[in-house]
Amino acid sequence: MGNKVDVKNRSVDPAAQQVLLYARDLGAVTAWDRHDAMQPLCGFGELGVCCHLCYMGPCRIDPFGEGAQVGICGASADLIVARNLARAVASGAAAHSDHGREVVGVLREASAGGSSGYRVVNPTRLLALAAEWGIPASGRSVNDIAGDLARAMTAEFGRQEGSLTPALRAPEGQRRRWDALGITPRGIDREIVDLLHRAHHGVESDPIALLRAAMRTALADGWGGSMIATDVQDVLFGGPTAIRSRANLGVLQERQVNLLVHGHEPALSEMLVRASRDADLLALAREAGAEGINIAGICCTANEVLMRQGMPVAGNYLHQELALLTGAVDLMVVDVQCVMPSLPTIASCHHTSVVSTSAHAHVPGAEHIEFEPHRAKDVARQIVRRAVEAFTRRDPSRVRIPRESADLVAGFTNENLPQYLGGRFRSGYRPLIDAVAAGRVRGVVAVVGCNTLKVAQDRHHLALVRRLIAEDVLVVQTGCSAIASAKAGLLRPEAALEHAGPGLREVCEAVGIPPVLHVGSCVDNSRILSVCVALVAEGGIGADISELPIAAAAPEAMSEKAIAIGLYAVASGVFTAFLPVPRVGGSRVVREYLEGTVERETGGRFLFTEDVEEAVQGILAHLDRKRTALKLAPMLHEGGVPVDAGAASRSLVDYETPRGLEGLGCGKAQARSQARAPRD
Ligand code: NFS
């Protein structure tokens, strides 16, 4: 007999809902269960007023004004909140930027020739970067140029004085603001160390000075570490072009070896894609009874191999455990960032292997096969062989692959958008600028970032994106937010007909693009900065980033990286809606600065809110203010189109417990796996 289970508060994705119900039958404990078990969350922590910086505490400030109003050292709530936020920015910037450093290392390896399997795939981009970085190119080989560029970029991380080289791409007006404020970013390592020093106990006691220093570090991420990561990846693996694929758990294949890549760096996953096409490994898979080798991705590694190879996407952040619970994944390979330490425990519900590969990230309970660029192909082949072995242990009777998967188009970049927007004869941003100026397109909004367990998975992403495109806003996306839209079918050109306001629909139809453009992983937010630079350079809708009718939003922000991204957007002059409210609620001073005063200094500001409609209204009002200031034409079509509320109503599902699974449970297996930790 079917039993109705309401999972609407966990995810709006029907595929996720099905697997969550299967998880219950398996007795598996997921992130949602752990989140429930953690309730109520610490109120002091949520407000950001808990300080554990020194070892006299931990201290916490009473938000009701009755208990302690300063920490043992005398730090106020304002300072504690600012310090906690600053440390989050340092950590987030470090993660993105170290990713950048890793790929620069791969470029150095590629430039040496040898047997690593890497080489410069995009010499045009290499030459453009060489010119920017002052590397002589005339009469030199590609490898010599690449080697010098890699060395220059490596050194840039430690630059002590002057501006980061890629930050010089920012419009002049913005750079003048940074100079005036003393936040022009120097070397990435320099800024992170500087910020961590200031945020140490007993150093910077002025919360506003600390927030400005945090902006400097965030800028070193956005216009430095992240930008370098994107640039070098395009050199090594090719600049993306528009590409079709599919997204959601339905991309898992019942009759193939399913190898999932999860994490952030494309170096290994690109190699895995190549290895999965090797004739001998395909033969091995066939011998094992599989019809092929299916590589799909989770999180930003998924976005990387989607953008360049069209590999299917299994899901975003909160899909990582669900994918394993389907019983169809033979092996999941992880590198760095956003990898839940629970994965080996979840994998123990089935036959699935988890392999960690980064020297930075060991996962207790997973097998560790270290990725080193000089033997990348060997490592990739070894992992594919492991996946085939695991396939032979798969139990088909336990496999439950949801049917859901949606078509998508991805692969848009600042480099190729001018062609897609303008065609061969009118390549450039002029058609988009004209559409904005004429009132067909209200503006451009970047919707980015994670999933969080504080919101039903994808609910805010989809609500915000649907509302914006209905109001004639062109949306560009990265990260897990882009995957949310992909799963919901919003990255298809047809989505313009179904969801876009009349002006945006006209533009999308004329040039054949979706109303929501997938521009890559989270480090590729740097591509969005580059689009802003190009719009300013082309002229007509603003002489500085802060004058453009643009905005950003992180509707389900979860990680410290999201804080760093939000802050570099604001420091770059962008109005940024950030949900849920990060840990700033305990300080009026911090909120007033980040949501108000900072706009006079950088041209951008935050809107912190828990309410997605408030974010929509804030963004639209901001776009309209910018349009008015620029004296652009009124919007041709006011009011937008009604939004499909179907997602929420679909979340109540009929579910039949699969026969033979009653009381099966993998709770015991999970407990055993936990007991094995930290290392077998
Ligand atoms: Ni961005 Fe990408 Fe996803 Fe959030 Fe994590 S994968 S780097 S941090 S959760 S968007």
Residue identifier of the C-alpha nearest atom 9 of ligand 1: 450
Q: Clarify whether residues 277 and 419 are in a common domain.
A: no
* Domain end (from 364, 398, 432): 398
Is 1 within a domain? no
pLDDT at site 648: 35
Look at residues 398, 422, 438 and tell me which one is the last residue of a structural domain.
398
Q: Are residues 297 and 411 in the same domain?
A: no
Centroid of ligand 1 to alpha carbon of 478 (angstroms)? 9
Asked if residue 353 lies in contact with residue 386, where contact means CB atoms within 8 angstroms, the answer is yes
656 torsion bin: left (phi>0), alpha (psi -120 to 50), beta (else) = beta
644 DSSP 8-state letter? P
Give the list of residues 6+ apart from residue 540 with CB closer than 8 angstroms, or none: 430, 433, 434, 437
Residues ≥6 apart with Cβ < 8 Å to 523: 96, 99, 100, 225, 226, 229, 230, 264, 300
Q: Report H helices in 416-455.
A: 417-422, 430-437
**What distance, in Å, lies between the first and last C-alpha atoms of the chain?**
42
Pairing of strands 443-447, 550-554: parallel
- Report, as an integer, the average pLDDT of 137-157: 98
Of 426 and 666, the structure prediction assigns the larger pLDDT to 426
Give the helix/strand (H/E) hosting 320.
helix 320-325
**Digit-coded pLDDT (tens) for 514-537:** 999 999 999 999 999 999 999 999
| In a domain? residue 72 | no
Place of tokens 């040898």: 114
**Residue by residue, what is the 3-state secondary structure of 329-348?**
CCEEEECCCCCCCCHHHHHC
How many whole angstroms separate alpha carbon 331 and alpha carbon 356?
A: 11
| Structural domain includes residue 244 | no
Q: What is the CATH number of the domain that holds 105?
A: 1.20.1270.30
For residue 449, give the ligand 1 atom closest to its CA.
Answer: 10
User: 3-state DSSP call for residue 293?
Assistant: strand
Query: In b/e form, how buried is each residue of 365-394, taking b as 16+ CB within 10 angstroms?
Result: bbbbbebebeebbbbbbebbbbbbebbeeb
Task: Specify whether 518 is located in the same domain as 574.
Answer: yes
Give me the DSSP letters along 530-567. Answer: HHHHHHHHH-SS-SSGGGSSEEEEETT--SHHHHHHHH
- Looking at ligand 1, which atom is closest to the CA of residue 338? 5
The answer to whether residues 541 and 662 belong to one domain is yes
- For residue 134, what pLDDT band results from cuts at 50, 70 and 90? very high
Please report how many Cα atoms fall inside a 13 Å half-sphere around the Cα of residue 449, on the Cβ side: 32
Question: Is residue 271 over pLDDT 60?
Answer: yes
Closest CA to 215 of 648, 461, 565, 651: 565
- List the residue whose alpha carbon is closest to atom 2 of ligand 1: 300
Give the pLDDT mean for 396-407. 97
Picking from 187, 179, 171, the residue whose alpha carbon sits closest to that of residue 93 is 187
Does residue 680 sit within a domain? no
Q: Is residue 539 part of a domain?
A: yes
Per-residue pLDDT band at 115 (split at 50, 70, 90): confident
**Taking each helix axis from N to C terminus, what angle separates 77-111 and 207-220, rounded to the nearest 10 degrees?**
20
Contact between residue 472 and residue 442 where contact means Cβ atoms under 8 Å apart: yes
pLDDT digits (tens, 9 = 90+) for 567-588: 999 999 999 999 999 999 999 9
Residue 61 CA to ligand 1 centre (angstroms): 31
User: What is the share, in percent, of the chain residues with pLDDT greater than 90?
Assistant: 90
70 within a domain of the structure (yes/no): no
Task: Encode burial over 550-572: b for 16+ CB neighbours within 10 A, e otherwise.
Answer: bbbbbbbbbbbbbbbbbbbbbbb
Measured in angstroms, how far is the CA atom of residue 522 from the centroid of ligand 1?
Answer: 6
Greater pLDDT, 647 or 314: 314
A 10 A CB-CB count for 30 gives 23
Of 10, 13, 20, 9, nearest to 486 by C-alpha is 13
Q: Which atom of ligand 1 is nearest to the CA of 448?
A: 10
Does pLDDT of 114 surpass 90?
no
Question: pLDDT tens digits for 609-646?
Answer: 999 999 999 999 999 999 999 999 999 987 655 444 34
- Per the structure block, which two tokens stand in for 392? 């032979």
Q: Are 449 and 304 in the same domain?
A: no
Residue appearing with tokens 């009473």: 62
| 88 and 49 share one domain | no
Query: Would residue 53 count as lying in a domain?
Result: yes
Q: State mean pLDDT over 93-114.
A: 95
CB hemisphere CA count around 666 (13 angstroms): 26
In the listed set 366, 398, 430, which residue is the last one of a domain according to the structure? 398
Domain hosting 590: range is: 406-675
Domains: count for the chain: 4
Q: Which ligand 1 atom minimizes the distance to the CA of 478?
A: 10
> Judging by beta carbons within 10 Å of its beta carbon (0-12, 13-18, 19+), is residue 585 exposed, middle or buried?
middle
Cis peptide before 678, with omega less than 30 degrees from 0? yes
Q: Residue 350 Cα, ligand 1 centroid: separation in angstroms?
A: 26
User: pLDDT value at position 422?
Assistant: 80
Q: Find, among 498, 571, 641, 630, the residue nearest to 218 by Cα.
A: 571
The domain that holds 391 is classified in CATH as 3.40.50.2030
Asked if residue 616 and residue 470 are part of one domain, the reply reads yes
Task: Tell me, yes or no, whether 214 and 149 share the same domain.
Answer: yes
Same domain, yes or no: 166 and 262:
no
> Is 394 in the same domain as 494?
no
Does 426 score more than 90 pLDDT?
Answer: no
Q: Mark whether 56 and 86 lie in a shared domain.
A: no
Identify the residues whose C-beta falls under 6 Å from ligand 1.
Answer: 264, 299-300, 317, 338, 449-450, 479-480, 521-522, 558-559, 561-562
Name the residue of 306, 339, 455, 559 to mutate for ligand 1: max ligand atoms within 8 A of Cβ: 559
Q: What does the pLDDT average to over 202-214?
A: 98
Q: Torsion angle of alpha carbons 342, 315, 530, 92, nearest 10°?
A: -10
Closest CA to ligand 1's atom 7: 522
The pLDDT of residue 8 is: 84
2 is a domain residue = no
Residue nearest to atom 6 of ligand 1 (CA): 299
CA of 337 relative to ligand 1 center, distance in Å: 8
Q: Quick one: 457 and 603 in the same domain?
A: yes
Q: What confidence tier does 52 reach under pLDDT thresholds 50, 70, 90?
A: very high
From the CA of 521, give the closest atom in ligand 1: 2
Å from CA of 93 to ligand 1 middle: 13
Q: Is the pLDDT of residue 433 over 80?
A: yes
pLDDT tens digits along 211-258 = 999 999 999 999 999 999 999 999 999 999 999 999 999 999 999 999
